[in-house]
Every structure is written in structure tokens, then in C-alpha cells.
Structure 1
Amino acid sequence: MNQRLLEKEGFAALVLRLRSQGIGEPGLLAALEQTPRSLFIGPAHAAEAYDNRLMPLDCGSFAESPDLVARILDLAGLKSGHRVLDVGTGSGFLAGVAGRIAERVMTIDRYRTLTTLAQQRYQHLGVANVVARQGDGLQGVPGEGTFDRIIVTAAFESMPRNYVDFLVSEGVMVAPLRDKDGVVRMARLTRIGNRFEREDFFAAPYLPLVPGVSAAL
């Protein structure tokens, strides 16, 4: 079976799974379809690119399933004029999909290897409004102004209050937070004044954020 057919069949199966969960926003589905998942996973796993499971990446990282990417983006509620910060580039797939919807996306990761590979993938696809940079996820991106949406794919141990200043008023941050029982759940944090209004959702397989940037990779 050729790669184009694998991609088409994998995407069709993904859409069926998402619709069964109540996720069917046309703009999101179109963005997923326009961003070939296999390009971000690599040839060794191309046949399983749309499977609902984690995939290994360089630097000991992993790529979340396309199902989880879709659920996170659905929570974020991206719009065409939004500026988006993605913390935890990984494969670059989430930021690539977000770039099909939003006006501009900046994605950061502590591993330069991952941001370099992601930027190459965006260039290959002709996605010019997504920029990948090495950065410290715990510090955000001081000096870059505010964002309409922030998406984080590594867990905070407590409320990330320093991120309030990176959001516009009523902007939304979607991030994994560890609850009092030790379970990591995706939360939607809406900026109200100088505080967050928090809504908790589903459990997610994210590891804690590691401070600083990697010197080796």
C-alpha cells in the first residue's frame, strides 16, 4: 500500500474516532487533513502514523497520538486571527496543525534537535507562519508580547501563574496539571484580570516540564 493511501485511510479512521467523541469542527478537521502525520513521525512508523498511541521521537521524547492532539486543539478553540504559543514542540505536528488555523504560531522545546527537525518539516510543507525555537518551557517567551492561546504539552506541578502575563485578556491556556491525587489532567485556564479561571478535563500522559534548555541535543 502506498503512503498516500495509508495517509488517506489513517485520516479517515481518525475522523471517525474524533466524531465519536463529539469533535467535528470543520476547520480543525481540515487542518488535520492538510498536515500529513507521517511526515512528523518518520518512515519507520509511517504505517502507524494515525494510530491512537504514543510514538517514540529523538531525544527520548514521544509524540502524542493524533487523537490527543485533536482533543487539545479542540479545547484551545483556535481562531484565524490568533497568535499561539506552543510549549513542547516534540514532533512539531501540533504546532503544524495549529498553523493551518491560526495567524501565527511559535513553538519552543528544550531540545534543539527537535526544533530544527520541526522547522525543516514546516518548510517542506510550505507552512511559513510557524516558527520553532529552542527555549525553556518554564520561563515562556519573555519579550515576545502576548498570545491569544498557549498550549503546553508537558506537565506543571502547580498553577503556572507566571504565564498570566503572556496571555491577552480572556486568552486561553491549555496545559497538563498534576492534581492533588497525582493524576495529570489537561486543564483550560482562562485569563480573567490577573488570575486564571480553571477547568479540568481528561487525563493525559505528559511528564513534568524540565527547567532550562538542553546543552547536548
Structure 2
Amino acid sequence: MNARLAEKEGFAGLFLRLRAEGLAEKALLTALEQTPRTLFLSAAYTDAAYQDRLVPIDCGAFAESADLVARLISVLSIEPGQRLLDLGTGSGFLAAVAARMCERVVTVDRYKTLVQLAQQRFAHLGLGNIVSRQADGLQGVTGEGSFDRIIATCAFETMPRQFVDQLATGGIMLAPMLQENGTAVMMRLTKIGSRFEREDLFDVPYRAFIPGVAAAS
């Protein structure tokens, strides 16, 4: 199957699955339709682009499914004019979809290769409101001020209180938390004053953060 046909049929299937889940936000569905999923995966995985499963990418990492990306962006409640920090660029698909819904996205990853590949994809799509950096996601970013939304796609072992100061008042952070059995649960953290109000959402397939940036790749 060629990429264009896979894209068209894949998105149609995704659209139906999301509608069945009650995810019918026009801005989200439009952003997904305008962001070709196949562009973010190697040619070997074109047919898997819209399957509801993990897909291998460079540096031993993986891309979460488009279904999960949609669920995450939905619960982030992104609004026009907001600023988003994305911890764990991966393929860049989540950042690209979110960038169509907000004013600015800063995305970081510990692997230089992933950052560079994502930058090429953003440029190809004409997404000039995304800044990509190689950085330690556990530390967030400096020099960017606060963010209205933060999302992490690697799991924390303890409550990520270090991000309270990087989140605007009333802002939302999605952060996976490792459980004793090794699974991760996505938390929605809402900043109230100088603390987080926590709500556990659903299991996610994310691995633990690795501190620092990668020496190679």
C-alpha cells in the first residue's frame, strides 16, 4: 500500500475509533487530519501508522499510537494562544498535532537524532511555532518562562514537583507515574497556588525517564 492511500484509510479508521470514544473535538480532529502520521515513521512501518499499537523509531525508542496521542491532547484541554512544553519528542507527532492547536510548542528529547529528525518533519509541514532542543527532560527547560500546558511521555518515579515553577497558575501537566508493578499511570496535575491537584487517568506504555542527554545518537 502506498503512503497516500495508507494515510487516507488510516485516518478514516482513527476518526471512527475516536468518535466511538466520544472524542469529537473539531480542533483536535482537524489537527490530526492535517498532520500525516506516515511522515513520522520509517517506510517499513507505513502500514502500522494508524494501528493502535507502539511503533519502533530510532534510538531504541517507540512512537505511541495516534489513538493515544489524541486522548492525551484531548485531556490536556489545549486552547488557542497557549504555550506547551513537550518532554520526550520521540517521532515529533504529538508536538506537531499540538502545534496546530496552540501558539507555541517547546519539545525536548535526550537523543540528538530524534530532535533532528523531528525538526526536519516540522519544517516539511511548515510548522514554525515549534522549538526543538536536545535536553534533559527531567529538568524541563530554562529561558522560556512558564507554560500553560506540560506533557511528559516518559514516566516519573516520584511526583514531578520541580515543574510547579514552570507551569502557569491554573495550568495543566500530564505526567506518567511509575507504579510498583512497573506499569505507568498518566496523571493530570493542575496547578493550584504553589501545589499540584492530582487526578489519575489511565495506564500508558511509557518507560522511566533516563537522566541527562545521550552521549551518542
- TM-score, with normalisation over the residues of structure 1? 0.97
The 8 Å contact of residues 107 and 132 in structure 2, kept in 1 or not, is answered as yes
Correspondence for 2:127: 127
Once residues 181 and 37 of structure 1 are traced to their aligned partners in structure 2, the CA distance between those partners, rounded to angstroms, is: 32
SS in 1 for 2:198: strand
SS in 1 for 2:119: helix
How many residues are paired up? 217
Once residues 188 and 120 of structure 1 are traced to their aligned partners in structure 2, the CA distance between those partners, rounded to angstroms, is: 31
Structure 1 residue 143 and structure 2 residue 126: aligned? no
- For residues 51-101 of structure 1, what are the alpha-carbon distances to aligned partners after superposition, in whole Å with 9 as ceiling and x for unaligned? 101000111000000011011101101111110000000000000000111
Once residues 72 and 157 of structure 1 are traced to their aligned partners in structure 2, the CA distance between those partners, rounded to angstroms, is: 20
- Report the identity percentage: 60
* Structure 1 residues without counterparts, runs of 5 or longer: none
Q: What's the CA shift for 1:48?
A: 1.5
SS in 2 for 1:145: coil
SS in 1 for 2:211: coil
Q: What's the CA shift for 1:179?
A: 3.5
Once residues 211 and 173 of structure 1 are traced to their aligned partners in structure 2, the CA distance between those partners, rounded to angstroms, is: 19
Once residues 90 and 184 of structure 1 are traced to their aligned partners in structure 2, the CA distance between those partners, rounded to angstroms, is: 18
Once residues 129 and 171 of structure 1 are traced to their aligned partners in structure 2, the CA distance between those partners, rounded to angstroms, is: 20
Correspondence for 1:57: 57
- For residues 126-163 of structure 1, what are the alpha-carbon distances to aligned partners after superposition, in whole Å with 9 as ceiling and x for unaligned? 11111111000110002211000001000001110010
Correspondence for 2:66: 66
SS in 2 for 1:11: helix
Give the counterpart letter for 2:205 in structure 1: P
Correspondence for 2:176: 176
Q: Which runs of 4+ in 1 moved over 6 A?
A: none
- TM-score, with normalisation over the residues of structure 2? 0.97
* Structure 2 residues without counterparts, runs of 5 or longer: none
The 8 Å contact of residues 122 and 128 in structure 2, kept in 1 or not, is answered as yes
Correspondence for 1:100: 100
The 8 Å contact of residues 183 and 205 in structure 2, kept in 1 or not, is answered as no
Once residues 5 and 209 of structure 1 are traced to their aligned partners in structure 2, the CA distance between those partners, rounded to angstroms, is: 36
Give the counterpart letter for 2:192 in structure 1: I
